[in-house]
Amino acid sequence: MHDMSAHAVHHGAPTSFIRKHIFSLDHKVIGKQYYALALVAVIVGMVLSWLMRLHLGFANFAIPGLHLLSKNGAPGDIMTPEYYLQLMTMHGTIMVFFVLTTAPFAAFGNFFLPIQTGAEDMPFPHFNMMSFWVTFTGFVILMASFFVSDGPTLGGWTQYAPLSAVGAVSGPGQGTGVVLWAFSIAFFCVGQLFGSLNFITTTLDMRCKGMSLMRLPLSAWAWFITSIMGLTAFAVLMPAVILLILDHIAGTSFFVASNLVINDSLLPHSGGSTLLWQHLFWFFGHPEVYIAIIPGMGIVSHILITNMRRPMLSHRVLIYSMGALAVLSYMVYGHHMFVSGMNPISSLAFSFPTLIITIPSTIVVLIWLGSLYGSKLRINSASLFALGFISMFISGGISGFFLAQPSIDILLHATYFVVGHFHLVMAVAAIFGIFGGTYFWFPKMTGRMMNESLGQLHFWLTFVGAYCIFMPFHYLGIAGNVRRYQAFVDDYLIPLIPVHKFITVAALATGAVQLIFIYNLIYSRFWGAPAPDNPWQGTSLEWSTATPPPHNNFGDKMPVVYHDPYQYSVEGASSDFIMQTSPEPVHSADEEK
Amino acid sequence: MATVVHEPPKMDVDRLPSQGSGNGGWRNLVPASGDLRKVKDSSPPPASTGIWVALASITMTFAAFTSALVVRQGGARDWQHMALPPILYFNTLVIIASSFTLEISRRRIAAFMGGLQERAENPLRWLYITLSLGLLFVAGQIFAWHELVSQGLRFATNISYSFFYVLTIAHALHVSGGIGGLVRVIAKFNQRVLKRSTLDATSRYWHFMGALWVYLLVLLWLKL
């Protein structure tokens, strides 16, 4: 039974170190904890991608010290084919779950959703604390799989059955590694369910006086929509991984078919459905893509509006479009299974909403571009990364048009084209959203400014680097380069090896550029210039409170909201922005629409 | 166990802005004139919304299990139909009865909190009866599993048994959570700090567990 009675107004400022910094109930501390977890996870995930790229670009490349990570996986510091797949699986799992879901949704959402809604805290702070620590435990379990005898699982982040369900007989990491992976994801699901519960209830019940739903900033709307998706999607992934665990430890046959012979062993399972896993997984998996990207859409909109000094062309249409993306994301999951042998009519049924979902995506992009057109955008690190997000989202989105059609997808499925598509549209775009959010909100989170020159340098190098890495993937895919190959020995693949070399160099260089960001983050945290309360002249509630915000967010006086969130360049106003808490009357035609 | 309460427990009151967040309320639609004086401070307690959110999540989980069962059975040649242990029908009566006893208790406490009655007559008795029935239900489920295992019918015996164990154990774990919630309600009631929203949320959860069990029983009876 969930504890439903505790709510924010009941917990005072903590006094002990443990309550203040470790098992904190404060949503702001929990948000920072999530951010720190995502930062550690992204570094691990990036290093894994470096190792993979070195192996792909330069066959049999000896990576000094790799044998220390796995004696069997990298004898003589050269990666075995199996170990390549193990690192690839961990890269995908870490990035999708512990970075792309954790940072834009759980980290920024935890810190800023209550503040932007005018709440003192989340309504169930104990659940919120558990949410982080359960997620953290999931990450530790996943990392532990590096250190079991045969290493982590090699089945890919999608863990398709029957490979994922048959046990150690199918390869290194397919026994204990899969079980650890499944437990890790189960913990992650629980954490996100607790988080979503808090996010939804905060948005519905904890808003301050005057804060109607339409007065919420776009970032708050994005977190709200994402939390509804998280609540429904992770609640489905959870049973799927439970069934997977049972196939391993209880000998059940949910996902393993009869008479399966692997490595000369007849498996004792019978009658399992290999496609059942795909249905359950992708029912979660496709919404997960939007769980990763919608918070970025909200963050980017929020950043751009503040820097354009004018609202988006339509606040409401942007919200409705994000909502439409969320709803449609549940109806398209079958497009991941076009080549699974499904009935062509089913393919059509999934293809149609997949094409439809491009409509709200396009509306969102057009609103961004239309709003940017003619605006005098302030150029800073945050706004640059917001523009970068849009660029990546468009580039990656366009390839989605191709993949949405079964006839083309059959050719491109499981090639690097798909890898390029989802890395641009989901991964890099979301990462740009995280960077943008960091440069934008860092002053409020820490009380110090980040170095602007380093930020802009970081943007340009990352922007160019990301395109150098991921655009060639599309070319490789069209040339027929199948993904998940650990070496390219076929005649038709050999001419493509120089492209892989180029990508590897670009990946190493772009990864190294991130040291600028890490340096900026750490240096600014301790020695950056002190931040004013409202460094960007923003209007939403996070800028109306102290920097950094006090324990209960707003000090002695709870805010009262008088305006829509983005009152910029209002005619006749005393300055070029009117804060939501300002009682100054607004005579604009846009107000209170 | 007869209890007479002489002073009212603390009640959930609408929060004022000075007392904390929450007056925005999900029904708080600002009038077109923007006049905040016309805004109704109608924020429901978070527990009221939170429990529905939690139940939605649990519904999704059991819907996923159900669809897994339907898909797995659809193409299965290895499916063996199983006879449900008879004690499940008794357990069904127990959990339905527990909903009634909890509702009696909830209404008595609610009437007392709302000032309709001066004294709450024996609400604790009905809470304890509910708790006992909940424990009896879980014990009954354990008995059912034990009965099957003693016949050699285990998790991996056949996929129908696998689903039986998965669904009934998942439900029993959720009921155990509800039992924890009941214990908490009783403890808070005894300390005179029970909030109406806590009581209502706990009882909604409990009724949901009863309804979910009836659904599962029908599903198991039809499909297994």
Residues in B closer than 8 angstroms to A2, CB to CB, are 50-51, 54, 177, 181, 205
Looking at the complex, report in whole angstroms how far the Cα of residue A139 sits from the nearest Cα belonging to chain B.
23
Is residue B30 pLDDT above 60, yes or no?
no
How far is Cα A29 from Cα A19, in angstroms, rounded to an integer? Answer: 10
Residue A529: CB atoms within 10 A of its CB come to: 13
Q: Read off the tokens for A434.
A: 């995280």
What is the amino acid identity at position A274?
T
Locate the chain A residue with the closest alpha carbon to B28. A212
Looking at the complex, report in whole angstroms how far the Cα of residue A206 sits from the nearest Cα belonging to chain B.
4
Mean pLDDT by 10 residues, chain A (593 residues): 39 80 93 97 96 92 90 90 95 96 96 94 93 97 94 93 89 93 97 96 89 92 96 95 95 89 85 89 91 96 96 94 93 80 80 86 95 94 97 93 84 93 95 97 97 98 97 95 90 93 97 97 96 95 94 86 89 86 70 46
Q: Is the CA virtual torsion A313, A314, A318, A321 positive or negative?
A: negative
First to last CA, chain B: 43
- Contact criterion met (CB below 8 Å) for A392 and A451: no
The ipTM value here is 0.90
Q: A251 burial class (0-12, 13-18, 19+ CB within 10 angstroms)? A: middle
Locate the chain A residue with the closest alpha carbon to B202. A1
Domain ranges across chain B: 14-43, 45-223
Q: Which of A197, A200, A238 sits opposite B61 (nearest CB)?
A: A238
Nearest residue to A79 via CA among A95, A60, A64, A98 = A60
How far is Cα A299 from Cα A286, in angstroms, rounded to an integer? Answer: 21
Q: Which of B64, B155, B178 sits opposite A250 (nearest CB)?
A: B155
- Contact criterion met (CB below 8 Å) for A439 and A459: no
Best to test chain A binding among B21, B40, B58 (most A CBs inside 10 Å): B21
What's the gap between Cα A468 and its chain centre? 22
3-state secondary structure of B121: strand
Q: Is the CA virtual torsion A115, A120, A121, A122 positive or negative?
A: negative
Residues facing residue A40 across a β-bridge: none
Average pLDDT, chain B: 82
Residue A343: CB atoms within 10 A of its CB come to: 8
Looking at the complex, report in whole angstroms how far the Cα of residue A404 sits from the nearest Cα belonging to chain B.
25
Residues in A closer than 8 angstroms to B159, CB to CB, are 252-254, 270-272
Domain ranges across chain A: 20-259+266-578
Question: Counting one residue from A and one from B, how many pairs have CB atoms under 8 Å apart?
Answer: 210
In CATH terms, B45-223 corresponds, of 1.10.286.10, 1.20.120.80, 1.10.8.60, 1.10.230.10, to 1.20.120.80
- DSSP run (H or E) holding A266: strand A265-266
How far is Cα B172 from Cα B176, in angstroms, rounded to an integer? Answer: 6
Q: Return all residues near A135 (Cβ < 8 A) that are at least 6 apart.
A: A34, A37, A98, A102, A106, A187, A188, A191, A192
- pLDDT value for A585: 77
A1 and chain B in contact, CB less than 8 A:
yes
Is residue B5 pLDDT above 70, yes or no?
no
What is the amino acid identity at position A25?
L
What is the amino acid identity at position A337?
M
A567 and chain B in contact, CB less than 8 A:
no
Going by pLDDT thresholds of 50, 70 and 90, the confidence category of residue B1 is very low
- pLDDT value for A555: 85
Q: Return all residues near A517 (Cβ < 8 A) that are at least 6 apart.
A: A435, A458
Residues in A closer than 8 angstroms to B26, CB to CB, are 204-205, 207, 213
Residues in A closer than 8 angstroms to B148, CB to CB, are none
Residue A589: CB atoms within 10 A of its CB come to: 8
Is A242 close to B17, i.e. CB distance below 8 A? no
How far is Cα A300 from Cα A388, in angstroms, rounded to an integer? Answer: 10
Chain A, window 207-266: residues with a beta carbon less than 8 angstroms from a chain B beta carbon: 207-213, 215, 231-232, 235-236, 238-240, 242-243, 246, 250-254, 258
- DSSP run (H or E) holding B67: helix B46-74
Residues in A closer than 8 angstroms to B167, CB to CB, are none
How far is Cα A509 from Cα A39, in angstroms, rounded to an integer? Answer: 19
Place of tokens 């166990």: B1
Is A252 close to B181, i.e. CB distance below 8 A? no
Nearest residue to A364 via CA among A294, A426, A292, A424 = A294
With residues binned 3-state (H G I as helix, E B as strand, rest as coil), the percentages for chain A, rounded to 5, are 65, 0, 35
Please compute the mean of the pLDDT values over residues B199-212 and round it to a whole number: 96
Q: Read off the tokens for A204.
A: 């519905």
How far is Cα A301 from Cα A129, in angstroms, rounded to an integer? Answer: 29
Is B24 close to A592, i.e. CB distance below 8 A? no
| Helices marked H in A404-496 | 406-412, 416-422, 429-446, 452-478
Select the more confidently predicted residue: A46 or B18. A46
CA–CA distances in Å: residue A549 to residues A251, A378, A393, A532: 53, 25, 33, 12
What's the gap between Cα A75 and its chain centre? 34
Reported as a single tens digit per residue, the pLDDT across B58-107 is 999 999 999 999 989 887 788 888 899 999 999 999 999 999 999 999 98
A65 sits in the region (left: phi over 0; alpha: psi -120 to 50; else beta) called left
CATH H superfamily, domain A20-259+266-578: Cytochrome c oxidase-like, subunit I domain (1.20.210.10)
Provide the 8-state DSSP code for B53. H
**Farthest-apart Cα atoms in chain A, separation:** 81
Q: A509 burial class (0-12, 13-18, 19+ CB within 10 angstroms)? A: middle
Q: Does the model's pTM come out above 0.80?
A: yes
- DSSP run (H or E) holding B41: none
How far is Cα B199 from Cα B180, in angstroms, rounded to an integer? Answer: 13
- pLDDT value for A7: 40
Place of tokens 């154990």: B169
Q: Which of B54, B71, B181 sits opposite A279 (nearest CB)?
A: B71
How far is Cα A405 from Cα A413, in angstroms, rounded to an integer? Answer: 11
Q: A392 burial class (0-12, 13-18, 19+ CB within 10 angstroms)? A: buried
Pairing of strands A567-568, A265-266: unpaired
B201 and chain A in contact, CB less than 8 A:
yes
Nearest residue to A286 via CA among A317, A320, A245, A325 = A325
Q: Is the CA virtual torsion B34, B40, B46, B49 positive or negative?
A: negative
- pLDDT value for B43: 61
- pLDDT value for B174: 97
Q: Read off the tokens for B141.
A: 């489920």
